[in-house]
């Protein structure tokens, strides 16, 4: 399962949790300004059938899909998904929902244009999750004003340009997914904070070296695959004591000697394929129980370490290297090369 849909499901679950704790009583109507903003959102989206329950004379806290309010009747959670043949820019009226803490937009491929500047009004946002749209333009730097933001997902869309360094000022930001766009330039330093951190930037056009600070702290997942990263990240990304569970650096231009690298014991997913990695397969991998492992299409050479968890990796994991040999590849000859 890909990370973007997983994040979407987690946020939808969080929205449902909001409904349990923040829903107003049946006698309490929603805030009239919030209702007006939602009706404007509906109009800007072209009145999709999916939003047919959004009627002026009804309580907007009960509208479907996924409108959630707090005890004061303010809208704190909104999920827009599967809206049919919508073909329109991102509604500016979303920025009028100033109490919004969770905003999810999923599988609306006709939604286009840049993130409107009105989103700068959403200073209470905790989670912004936009996935599967045609949203274009830059990653909005004005989101740096949402100082509580912990999750930023704008994935599988058409964003372009650099990742703004101003996002590093968000003190609670721990989950960033900007994968599947057309972003360029280097990764800003210090985007992630706190514990249980995720950085997903795959399938972009990012360049430069991976900043060393992404090897610090409690990083669970690092997916930088399908970019143009260069350099040697091994001194700061890999150590047996690190808590990292997933590292995907495949399809880049990374260069380092793998022989003495000590991979984290907690690691469950490691993909270093399609790079320029040299040396031998690290012996430290014998102690790492990997569910996914791939070092194919590199410049590795020598005998593959045997024993313990190495037996779980097939020949495809090592394909198209310089001169690897030994199980599961053909045996080595007296010079340590494949015969």
Series of mean pLDDT values for 10-residue runs along the chain (339 residues): 44 48 54 96 95 93 90 95 92 97 95 96 96 96 92 97 96 97 97 95 98 92 98 96 96 98 96 98 97 98 95 97 97 67
CA distance 72 to 334: 78
Distance, in Å, from the CA atom of 236 to the CA atom of 214, rounded to the nearest integer, reads: 8
CB 109 within 8 A of CB 133: yes
Please give the Cα distance from 249 to 266 (Å, whole number). 17
For residue 179, how many other CB atoms are within 10 A of its CB?
26
The 3-state DSSP class for residue 49 equals helix
- What pLDDT, on a 0 to 100 scale, did the predictor assign at position 32? 95
The pLDDT value recorded for residue 206 is 98
Label residue 307 left, alpha or beta by phi (over 0 means left) and psi (-120 to 50 means alpha): left
pLDDT of residue 334: 66
pLDDT of residue 29: 84
pLDDT tens track for 12-38: 445 544 444 444 433 468 999 999 999
What's residue 247's pLDDT?
Answer: 98
Q: How far is CA 56 from CA 33, 38, 52, 62, in A?
A: 12, 10, 11, 12
Helices of type H across the chain: 3-22, 32-44, 234-237
Rounded Cα distance between 112 and 132, Å, is 11
Distance (Å, rounded) from C-alpha 178 to C-alpha 136?
Answer: 12
What pLDDT is attached to residue 17?
A: 46
H-assigned helices in 101-153: none
Tell me how far apart the alpha carbons of residues 324 and 333 are, in angstroms, rounded to a whole number.
11
Whole-model pTM? 0.91
Model pLDDT, residue 4: 43
pLDDT for 51 equals: 94
């Amino acid at each position: 399962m890909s990370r973007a849909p997983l994040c979407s499901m987690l946020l939808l679950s969080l929205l449902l949790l909001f409904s349990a704790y923040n829903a107003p009583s049946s006698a309490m109507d929603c805030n009239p300004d919030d209702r007006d903003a939602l009706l404007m959102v509906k109009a800007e989206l072209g009145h999709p059938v999916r939003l047919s329950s959004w009627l002026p004379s009804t309580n907007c806290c009960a509208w479907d899909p996924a409108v959630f309010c707090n005890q004061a009747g303010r809208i704190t959670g909104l999920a827009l998904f599967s809206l049919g043949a919508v073909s329109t820019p991102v509604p500016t009226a979303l920025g009028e929902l100033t109490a919004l803490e969770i905003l999810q937009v999923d599988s609306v491929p006709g939604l286009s244009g840049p993130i409107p500047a009105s989103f700068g009004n959403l200073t209470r946002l905790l989670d912004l999750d936009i996935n599967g749209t045609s949203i274009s333009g830059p990653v909005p730097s004005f989101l740096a004003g949402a100082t509580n933001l912990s999750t930023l997902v704008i994935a599988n869309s058409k964003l372009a340009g650099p990742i703004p360094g101003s996002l590093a000022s968000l003190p609670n930001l721990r989950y960033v997914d900007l994968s599947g766009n057309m972003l360029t330039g280097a990764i800003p330093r210090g985007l992630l904070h706190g514990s249980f951190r995720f950085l997903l930037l795959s399938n972009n056009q990012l360049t430069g070296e991976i900043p060393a600070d992404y090897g610090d702290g409690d990083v669970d997942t690092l997916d930088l695959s399908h970019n143009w990263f260069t350099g040697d990240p091994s001194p700061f990304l890999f150590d047996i004591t690190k808590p990292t569970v997933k590292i995907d650096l495949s399809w880049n231009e990374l260069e380092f000697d793998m022989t003495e690298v000590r991979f984290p014991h907690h690691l469950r997913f490691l993909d270093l394929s399609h790079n320029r990695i040299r040396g031998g397969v690290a012996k430290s991998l014998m102690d790492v129980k990997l569910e996914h492992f791939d070092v194919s299409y590199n410049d590795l050479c020598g005998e593959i370490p045997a024993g313990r968890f190495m037996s779980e990796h097939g020949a495809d994991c090592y394909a198209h290297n310089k001169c690897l040999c030994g199980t599961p590849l053909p045996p080595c000859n007296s010079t340590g090369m494949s015969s």
